[in-house]
Structure 1
Amino acid sequence: MDDGSPTVWERAEPPPRTAPTPLSRAAIVAAAIALADEGGLDAVSLRKVGAALSAGPMRLYGFVDSKDELLDLMADAVQGEIGVPAGEWRVALTALAEATRAAVLRHEWFADLMGGRPRLGPNRLAVLEGSLAAVLPAFPAVDDARHVLWTVHAYVAGAVRAEVGERRAARRTGVDKPAWEAAHGSYLRRTLATGRFPMIERFVAEGTDGDPAAVFAAGLTAVLDGLAAQRR
């Protein structure tokens, strides 16, 4: 139930202070994003952000009430980087998907915030408004438009999480994907030689391991083709 309490985007910031360190929500969010880019979301806390800004954590509570609010602000800042899609529905959703992937590759932690309840900051609402403006003319029923947006979002979220997961695994183990595949190649060849997995054998023999951007684009095209066919 809505209790009428203002959100972090609606609350005014405290009056500016010249000493000991000037603060603003924008500065707090920028510092938090820098920490997350370096060490992931576990590296973000009000104490650590305060230290990065040479300010005590209690001063930050005048700007944000909790880490959850700070994460909302961080996610909305990235939505601002993604930008508002425009144009015909396929053009708009393709641009949105590619911009989202690019933002996630700059800020891997953002992939961890893509699920769950929506974070309805002003930038996110602007992206949603632009998305609906592009999709509703082609899918006039609101539930159909919601299905289209949810389907594209689900594909993008799953694809970028898989890509980020591979990057993280390579950093954690020091073994990149080609090296990992080479290390497991002998085992896989022996296993496939048993004849128990003919579909996997064909998949390995005939498949190509393309550039991640090309793989992402091909998957997105398949999703949009399916949605277009449903529309027809």
Structure 2
Amino acid sequence: MRLYGYIATKDELLDLMVDAVHAEIRPAGDGWREVLRSLAETTRQAVHQHEWLADLLGGRPQLGPHALARGETVVAAMGGVDVDTVMPVVDAVNAYVIGAVRREITERRAERATGMDKRQWQSAFGPYLVRTFASGRFPALAAVVRDGAHLDADQTFRMGLDFLLDGIEARISS
């Protein structure tokens, strides 16, 4: 309650908290691709450090000094890209990161709530999937689950980010 002598609302407090974390998100690199990769990875790291951030990303624009500094760094790195393309590119990367980290944090929270880690969950639900896939109704899904690579969260995040950055590169190079 003492904080409300300094700030007016809970939303203002949350904005200040989010901006404080933006100070930890310091994208760096040579060229737009490295800076966007760094933006994605440092944002993900910040969310893993501050789990509550996953619930607040993607809301209204963040206009605090740390968020604006982060935005300036990213937009400046997009120097050779058409000005009308810059924000859709940055928004696409941000949307990917937000979706990925929310999924990761949701899985982490589910593990805590159920007390089952990924392997325990797979053991519990594996027999159901074996029976379901044996029905023949889901052959494509069964093949992917049975034969596909089972990547960890880091590998999945980086591969998805590579797909996105490759697509952006192909689009802005044409």
Q: Which bracket does the TM-score occupy, shorter chain normalised?
A: over 0.9
CA positional deviation for 1:135: 1.4
- Pair 1:229 & 2:149 matched: no
Q: Which residue of 2 aligns with 1:213?
A: 154
3-state SS of paired residue (2:23): helix
Where do 1:57-76 residues align within 5 Å?
57=1, 59-76=2-19
Q: Which residue of 2 aligns with 1:171?
A: 112
Q: Partners of 2:86 and 2:5 in 1: how far apart? A: 39
- Pair 1:203 & 2:144 matched: yes
Q: Partners of 1:119 and 1:151 in 2: how far apart? A: 17
Q: Which residue of 1 aligns with 2:32?
A: 89
Where do 1:103-114 residues align within 5 Å?
103-114=46-57
Where do 1:44-59 residues align within 5 Å?
57=1, 59=2
Q: Show structure 2 runs of 5+ residues with no match.
A: none
Indicate the larger mover: 209-218 or 122-131.
Answer: 209-218
User: Identity across aligned pairs (percent)?
Assistant: 51
Q: Partners of 2:20 and 2:29 in 1: how far apart? A: 19
CA positional deviation for 1:61: 2.3
TM-score by length of 2: 0.95
CA positional deviation for 1:212: 1.2
Q: Is the 8 A contact 2:19 2:64 kept in 1?
A: yes
Q: What does the per-residue CA deviation read over 1:144-171, in whole Å, with 9 as the maximum and x for residues that have no partner?
A: 1111001000000000000000000000
Q: Which residue of 2 aligns with 1:123?
A: 66
Normalized per residue, the structure richer in helix is 2
Letter of the 1:156 counterpart: V
Q: Partners of 1:207 and 1:72 in 2: how far apart? A: 41
Q: Which residue of 1 aligns with 2:84?
A: 143
Q: Is the 8 A contact 2:27 2:42 kept in 1?
A: no
Larger Cα Rg: Structure 1 or Structure 2? 1
Letter of the 1:226 counterpart: G
3-state SS of paired residue (2:24): helix
Higher RCO, Cα 8 Å, sep 6+:
2
Q: Partners of 1:188 and 1:84 in 2: how far apart? A: 41
Q: Show structure 1 runs of 5+ residues with no match.
A: 1-56
3-state SS of paired residue (1:81): coil
CA positional deviation for 1:86: 4.4
Structure 1: which 4+ aligned runs deviate by more than 6 Å? none
Where do 1:155-166 residues align within 5 Å?
155-166=96-107
Letter of the 2:45 counterpart: A
TM-score by length of 1: 0.72
Q: Partners of 1:87 and 1:96 in 2: how far apart? A: 13
Q: Is the 8 A contact 1:80 1:124 kept in 2?
A: yes
Q: Is the 8 A contact 1:86 1:131 kept in 2?
A: no
